Structure 1
Amino acid sequence: MAGEALTSAAATRSGGWKHLPAALRIGILYLSARVVTTIFLVTAAEQSGFDSRFGPDATLTDLILGWDARWYWIVAETGYPADLPLTDGGSVAENQWAFMPLFAYLAKAVALPFGGTWAVGAFIVAIVAGYGASYVLYRMLRERLDETAATWATVFFAAGPLAALFQVGYAEGLFLFWLFLALWGVQRRRYGWLYLLVPLMGYTRPGVLAFALFLGLYGIWRWVRRRQEPLPVREIVHIIALGALAVAVGFSWQLIVGWVTGDPGAYLATELSWRRNWIPGEAVFVPFEGVISAAGFWFGSVWGSTATVGYVVLALGVAAIAAVLIFEPHVKRLGVEVRLWSASYLVYLLLVFFPQSSIFRLLLPLSPLWGAVAAPRSTLWRVTMLVACVAGQWWWIHEMYALGNEFWRVP
């Protein structure tokens, strides 16, 4: 009798959980993850010492405003410079133009009822956007996976190694919210909202040009398969128009920066100014040059090997990732939209990025691939991956916030 009662109670609780609205279930899981992250951030603030970037008296607010968050705060408070700041050597110095305006000003607006404290507004925007991204990711993955797998994938995302970005003044969560909505719209062949989402993405953080490439590849794929899945003229028009819009938005910021500063190369010079933290001297943007230079730098100058080894590792890594996106069965289950987006975004990074410690953060737009990690039905596998996510989260917070005192400890 007692055993039957326990079994019945367990079944009732399980059934009760499954009958909750998906938005509420994801919200409970997301807030639980945020509690863990808060504990980690508070601990990191307590462990911050004299050698840390944040000093021995660091607070949670200091961490929220740390690193790139301070640049967004400067944008919100002072705007963008008409005259580019220069180093002692006459090079363009790091400045606000590297940071898109939407997150900064939205956080400022949200902060108004709270005394105008930007850190409060940034926290609210980041944490709400993180929930929105988590819920939309779940709905996206439910198009291809069962409920359990989609839920586990969302948990991996919400509690993953970079989950602290959902609680600090970074634009990543807001960008992911727009991105996942856009990908979900493409999945469901509903393109209308993308005319709003593409500009929102473009003025939140860099990456909308990768979405333009994705739309181009997606259009080609739909055209090739038009006999298996009809491709109405209406959809052709939407795909082409949205691709053109994404290209226009992607390059518009460079034009705006050039117009305000009077220097057509101001935006690229600003972005390249950060590279001098790793490789001194003037850098010129050439597609793919950043990743090739980084391979030689990290393997040849930092890790004591040779540049040739770095180039070989880079080539093998690109080939391995391509093979996973094309052939790995769990990735294939996610659908062509996720695979084409992942490929497009990785090509974009190869074109423009100089890989360094920020690479972990810049890989966040690949988060729909958590669905492939969650797809295997083994509970042991899923629990192990969750433990790894939480452990990775603590490692990242400890390195970037409790310490943050080396050039490879930059989020």
Structure 2
Amino acid sequence: MPDHQLRTRMPGAPAPHPRDTGTGPRAAAALRAAAPALAVYAAVRALGFLGLWVAAQASGKDPLARLTGRWDSVWYQRIAENGYGYTVTLPDGALHSDLAFFPLLPALERGISEVTPLTLGGAGLLVAWTAGLLAAWGIFAVGAELYGRRTGVVLAALWGVYPTAFVQSMAYTETLFTALAAWALYAVLKGRWLVAGALCVLAGLTRPSAAALIAALAITAAVTLVREIRAGHGLGPVLRRNARMIAGVALAPLGWLAYVVFVAVREGSPFAYFDVQAQWGNSIDGGRALAAFIAGLPLPAALGLCAALGLLGWLVVLCVRQRQPLPLLVYGIAIVVISLIGAGYFGSRPRLMMPAFPLLLPPAAALVRLRSRGRTAAVIAVLACASAAYGAWTLLGAGPP
């Protein structure tokens, strides 16, 4: 029997209680176990930054300004400096309000800049880079829990060489959200539902796509309860036994709901947040905008995009065939669906899907099966170079936001 089948248990089942050796020693041991994953992740992201630096120097541009002074990072820094209330009116009359951006990152930027010499942009980079390491650690922890430490290391590395991984080096929310999501999912796998719920609250203050994480917790809990009730256990005992799970699920959406309610109260409309998103072109249209975008492309580009979407669908199928735990499946698929059914700018969609790290578990497992660390390292090195080149080209050009 594979070792991951021996180590895992149904989400919701109580965690074992090994002899307590203290939080400090346990954390140190966990960090030592994750050290190879963190080293590889740091190396591939350093390569990406080096590629940007060299290309920027050759073109006479400031690489740090490309990481802190463009696109969404500017909106976050404006919120950190002045609070909410800034709106841009576009030539077509559409309004872009800063209420579209969730508050955790600007709050961290402001707090760090007030107690350190860092500017708001520097604070944003500190948050993003620190969160990137925490995300890689959480991704490693999930992969190692399910399929062994080597798979966890490769999984973290693959996340670091994702095509739009250059965003992980920017003052954006992707690394912060992914860190919270990865550790929340790991907590669910370990049966620590209150921890998972608390992390989900923070994720809900970071990005609207926290809805995928909330759904993962809720659906997993519902399936667990139904399964136990159908097994013949009484409703009362089932609810008492799973009280922590129910409390974690109830806690999970509070961050997301709090911000939606804040916008509703501020704007005087219960649907104000969704109106703000619609003004940005981020309304849900079921994929019509994506279909129209593909139809408007030249035939070779359209075929290439369809092939990429087909590959994405195949990864989802592989995740199902891999029998990933339910919370990972729901989370990964929900992130993909949320990213594809909106009417927003197409260039942002690969970035929006980047937190769906469970999609990388099948290729990570395939690389581990090569049984040659040299071949695995060579594949990751090639991907890292390609990711670095694409990141430099994107950041120094017009590029997708």
Q: Shared fold (TM-score greater than 0.5)?
A: yes
The amino acid that maps onto 2:158 is F
Q: Does 1:270 align with 2:270?
A: no
Q: Which residue of 1 aligns with 2:155?
A: 153
8 A Cα contact 1:103 1:171, kept in partner: yes
8 A Cα contact 1:46 1:58, kept in partner: yes
Indicate how the Cα distance of structure 1 residues 347 and 57 shifts in structure 2: closer, same or farther if over 3 A, else same.
closer
Q: Which residue of 2 aligns with 1:303?
A: 298
Identity of paired residues, percent?
22
Q: Which residue of 1 aligns with 2:168?
A: 166
Q: Which residue of 1 aligns with 2:108?
A: 106
Q: Which residue of 2 aligns with 1:217?
A: 219
CA distance in 1 between counterparts of 2:145 and 2:210 reads 24
- Structure 1 residue 120, shift from structure 2 partner: 1.5
8 A Cα contact 1:103 1:204, kept in partner: yes
CA distance in 2 between counterparts of 1:86 and 1:402 reads 27
CA distance in 1 between counterparts of 2:31 and 2:365 reads 22
Name the TM-score, length of structure 2 as normaliser. 0.78
- The runs of 5 or more residues in structure 2 that have no matched partner are 1-28
Q: Which residue of 1 aligns with 2:13?
A: none
RMSD over aligned CA atoms reads 3.5
- Structure 1 residue 234, shift from structure 2 partner: 4.2
CA shift digits 1:116-153 (9 cap, x unpaired): 41122111111111111111211111111122222111
CA distance in 1 between counterparts of 2:260 and 2:30 reads 49
- Structure 1 residue 104, shift from structure 2 partner: 1.3
- The runs of 5 or more residues in structure 1 that have no matched partner are 1-17, 49-55, 276-282
CA distance in 2 between counterparts of 1:374 and 1:314 reads 19
SS at match of 1:193: helix
Q: Which residue of 2 aligns with 1:176?
A: 178
Indicate how the Cα distance of structure 1 residues 268 and 63 shifts in structure 2: closer, same or farther if over 3 A, else same.
same
Larger gyration radius, structure 1 or structure 2: 1
CA distance in 1 between counterparts of 2:78 and 2:338 reads 28
CA distance in 2 between counterparts of 1:42 and 1:255 reads 42
Q: Which residue of 2 aligns with 1:280?
A: none
Name the TM-score, length of structure 1 as normaliser. 0.77
Q: Say which of 74, 81, 86 aligns to 1:77.
A: 81
Q: Does 1:65 align with 2:60?
A: no
Q: Say which of 66, 69, 89 aligns to 1:86.
A: 89
The amino acid that maps onto 1:300 is A
- Structure 1 residue 321, shift from structure 2 partner: 5.5
- Between 1:127-136 and 1:226-235, the stretch displaced more is 226-235
The amino acid that maps onto 1:205 is R
Indicate how the Cα distance of structure 1 residues 23 and 147 shifts in structure 2: closer, same or farther if over 3 A, else same.
closer
SS at match of 1:94: strand
Q: Which residue of 1 aligns with 2:12?
A: none
Q: How does 1:169-318 map to 2 (within 5 A)?
A: 169-226=171-228, 232-234=238-240, 236-275=242-281, 285=283, 287=284, 289=285, 291-296=287-292, 298-303=293-298
CA shift digits 1:351-375 (9 cap, x unpaired): 5454611111111121133232121
8 A Cα contact 2:212 2:335, kept in partner: yes
SS at match of 2:96: coil
The amino acid that maps onto 1:272 is A
The amino acid that maps onto 1:400 is T
The amino acid that maps onto 1:175 is F
